Structures are given as C-alpha cells and as structure tokens.
Structure 1
Amino acid sequence: MRVPGVETWALPTSPTTAPAGGAPEASPLVGEVADPAPVLRLPGPVPARGRGVFGYVEQPGPVLGRSGVLRRFRVAVEVGSGEQVPAFAATVQAALAGPGSWVDGGGLRLQRVGPGVRADFTVYLATAATAGRMCAAGGVDIRVGGRPYTSCRTSGKVILNLDRWRTSVPHFVAAGVPLDTYRLYVVNHEVGHQLGYRHEGCPGAGRPAPVMQQQTLFFDGCRPNPWPYLNGRRYTGPRR
C-alpha cells in the first residue's frame, strides 16, 4: 500500500522527549515544589481516522550505535492525527538511541534519514483505522474485540497505533507506568520485529519483561520494561 507524504518537517536541535528511567531524584527541600505526577495517559478524544497521508521528517539524525551494519529509517505521522511530527520523531530517536536500545549490542547502527535517501524502514504513527488497514495489507491483524488495538510491523513498515500512543493500555495505567515508558517500549518492540526478532515470554514472576514480550496485551507476572538491553546485556525470555 502506497502511503504518500504531504509534508516535511525539520526537527528542533535537541530531542523533546527523553527516555524514562535513570537514578531517582532526591526529595524536594522545604519550600520547593515537588515534581508533578507522571502522565499515564493523555486526556481527551483520540482521532479514530485520518486522511491516510503522512507528513515526514525532513532533517536527518546522527548515526546511533558504535559499529555494525547501518540501517536507515524514516519517521512519519498521519495528517489529521493531532500529533506533531517533530515530537514523535524525538521520541522515536530517544527510544532507538538508548541507553538500552538495539544498538547497544555493537552489531547494529541506526540513522534517521530525510527525503531522497533510501531507507530500510519507516516508523509510522497512524490513527487506529489507518493502522488497521496498513497492518492488514501486510498480513497482520491488530484487532482486539473487533477493533484495531495493537501496533504492528510489516515489510519495511513499523506502524504504531495512535490510540496506544496517546492512552497506553489499562494494565500499564493501573500499575502507574508513565506513558513515556510505554512509548519507548512500543517503539523498541515493533522495531525489534523489523530487525527479525520474534515474540518472547516472561522469564519469571517479578522479573523485567523482555522487550519482545507482548506487553501491550499482558505482563504475565513480569514488570514493564522498554529496553532490549539491561545492564549492557541482551535481555530475553522464552520464545513464543
């Protein structure tokens, strides 16, 4: 299915979204204002369908990773989704840069490219209706309860569902997991499929979930985790 781009966008000089995690912050001093509670899901209605056309990022990004094969990607957002291309691209960049991303193994490099440069795959943010059509065209059914629910990967396309991008999933929300963490997970999970990885299961109750576990559907006793590498080592579970 051909999905033409109708806009190109230049990114700001620095990402607007950073990976979740890191060292815990100290408690605020007397008189200081505490950090706001993390955003678990965005309020308001989510557009169910868009125009079926996409705006693309024009500005290339730096090469991510130290060594290995270089795979190039583009980033696109559906027109009518209500999401801004630069903000989405910054989150994708943060997810793929890590630390903890797919490039940490030393055998892979990734780079976002602009128009006119051959790309190995494109990361799309699409409304549920468009995501459902694009995934179905690639042989993937993302419906749950008859409605497009999950995201998917088809040949050369990483397709992220706008519903999940804005509202996460109920078990992430119930567990108090920030929306930013879910977003990092879904980028790395679907890009993992593009890189040839298949689904994995929870390796044990209370342990981090592998990034290739279908965390959008269940934790299965594991704890949420958005990264393929933990403590510098590839983290996996039993194959599904």
Structure 2
Amino acid sequence: MTLVLAVVAAVAVVLDERGGDVGAEAVAVEPSPSPSPTSAAPSVSPSASAVPATPSAPPVLRVAGPVPSAGRGTFGYDDRTGPVLGEAGTLRRYRVAVETGAEEDPGEFGAAVEAALAGPGSWVDGGRLRLQQVPEGSAHDFTVYLATARTAGRMCLAGGVNIQVGGRPYTSCRAPGKVIINLDRWRLSVPHFVALKVPLSVYRLYVVNHEVGHQLGNRHERCPGRGRPAPVMMQQTLFLDGCVANPWPYRDGRRYSGPPV
C-alpha cells in the first residue's frame, strides 16, 4: 500500500464531505463551499457523458495479514531532509525511524508523518511553530519511531509510560524526545474506528498528531459534547465517548480543544 496516496485520500475525506463510504457520523469533516449560483455549468461532450463513472474504492480500514509483534530493536532512518512545515515560529527538527523487522519502509513512513504534520489542520497552523524532518545524524529535537508492539512497550515503559491494555502493549506513546508509534495500531487502527468505517489513513493522521502533541507539551483532553469532533489530544485510540473521529488540532484555522482530563 502506498502511504502517500492513502494519507492524501484521508485528507480529502476529512476536509471534503462528498457522500462516500465515510460520513459525518464517523469522521469530523469541514463543509465544502457551495458553488456560486451565477457559475455556468461546465460543458460535457456527448462521448464523455456516455462513459459511466468509476465507483470509488471502499476505504482501507486496516492492513490485511499478520503484523510482526517483535523486531530486532534496531532502527533504519528516513534520511531525507524535508521541507520546513509552517510559516512562522520556533523551528523544531525531527527524525523518522522504523524498526528493523517491522516490514515498513522508512521513506513511506516519513512521508506519512510529514503529511500529518503539514496539515492543513496540523500543529504548525498556529503560526508559532515550524517543523522539519532531518537525517539520522543531524541535530534534532525529537524522533518519530515506528516500532513493533513489543519494542514500543519496552521503549514507552523506559520513558515512564505503560501502554499495555489487557496485558499487551496496545497504544502508542511519547517518551522524552521520542514519539513512539505502535506498529499494531499503524496497521490495524482500533476496533471502534473500524466499526465506524473510519479509514486507516485518518487514524494514522490522528496518532501522529496526538503523540507529537504530547511532545509539544499538550496533555489529554475530553470530548466537548456528543456529536462534536473529538479533540486531537483526546485518547481516541481508547474511546470516542460520543465524539466523532478527528485527526487535527486546528479546525477552521483555530485551535480546537476539549475540557482537560
């Protein structure tokens, strides 16, 4: 699966409700502007109108097949220097790494992380922060890791965070200088997202922005009201509590938050 296309598809779902397989009850969407009443309808040639529309593919909810539960504990890096994300503010640099044995490409993971942090709707939209991916040996503020469940559990526990649910490493976490994404969640999303047909790519946007949000000093928040978008700092991996899935910290250009936990 090509992550870049999946992430772009997710952004389209979140920003533009067009009546596909995922509706407003499952994912928080921004309304599309209505066409101007004075706009002329585009002309369509007879041959083009005779071609039936290709039905859109259903969203990918989880990756099929087994997920490696343990890797080698070593990491390969996406050694690109990425663009500066954001227009103004403090520049924070991050690296991207994938555990050896996770069966994920560091470059594809890096592209997915960049798409989540670029937005629109990401942390850089506040105008006080810029982010940039840098290669392995460069000076950096934090590293975004994609790790198997066993390694993620060990790394998180070393940073003071227990990610176990039901005796197994389940969630992702942030440890000092480390944003640790659990491979199980990256591949499988979570049951309540799957039941609501929220695309896996939307969950991926959420989990990156949530854990990077912790790295930026943000704490957990609660659902502000039934039917409203979930704040990105809400623990959407565990529950939605009546809110609808939302992967972005900014909506309509403003910081979107809920009551503190």
Q: TM-score, normalised by structure 1?
A: 0.91
2:239 maps to: 218
1:36 maps to: 57
Q: How does 1:89-108 map to 2 (within 5 A)?
A: 89-108=110-129
Separation (CA, whole Å) in 2 of partners of 1:79 and 1:161: 14
Q: TM-score, normalised by structure 2?
A: 0.84
1:53 maps to: 74
The question of 1:88 aligning with 2:109 is answered yes
**2:83 counterpart (56, 59, 62):** 62
Shift of 1:167: 0.3
Amino acid at match of 1:136: L
Shift of 1:107: 0.3
Separation (CA, whole Å) in 2 of partners of 1:238 and 1:230: 16
Unmatched 5+ stretches in structure 2: 21-48
1:227 maps to: 248
The question of 1:173 aligning with 2:194 is answered yes
Q: Secondary structure at the match of 1:73?
A: strand
Amino acid at match of 2:125: D
1:182 maps to: 203
Separation (CA, whole Å) in 2 of partners of 1:161 and 1:55: 16
Separation (CA, whole Å) in 1 of partners of 2:136 and 2:111: 17
1:128 maps to: 149
Amino acid at match of 2:109: F
Higher helix share: 2
Amino acid at match of 1:23: D
* Structure number, greater radius of gyration: 2
Which of 17-26 and 200-209 deviates more?
Answer: 17-26
Could you say if the C-alpha distance between residues 239 and 124 of structure 1 is closer, same or farther in structure 2, counting changes exceeding 3 Å? same
1:23 maps to: 16
Amino acid at match of 1:164: R
Amino acid at match of 2:128: G
Shift of 1:26: 8.2
Amino acid at match of 2:189: S
The question of 1:72 aligning with 2:93 is answered yes
Tell me the C-alpha RMSD between the 2 structures. Answer: 1.7
2:171 maps to: 150
Unmatched 5+ stretches in structure 1: 1-14
**2:214 counterpart (189, 193, 216):** 193
Q: Secondary structure at the match of 1:83?
A: coil
Shift of 1:117: 1.4
1:11 maps to: none
Give % identity. 67
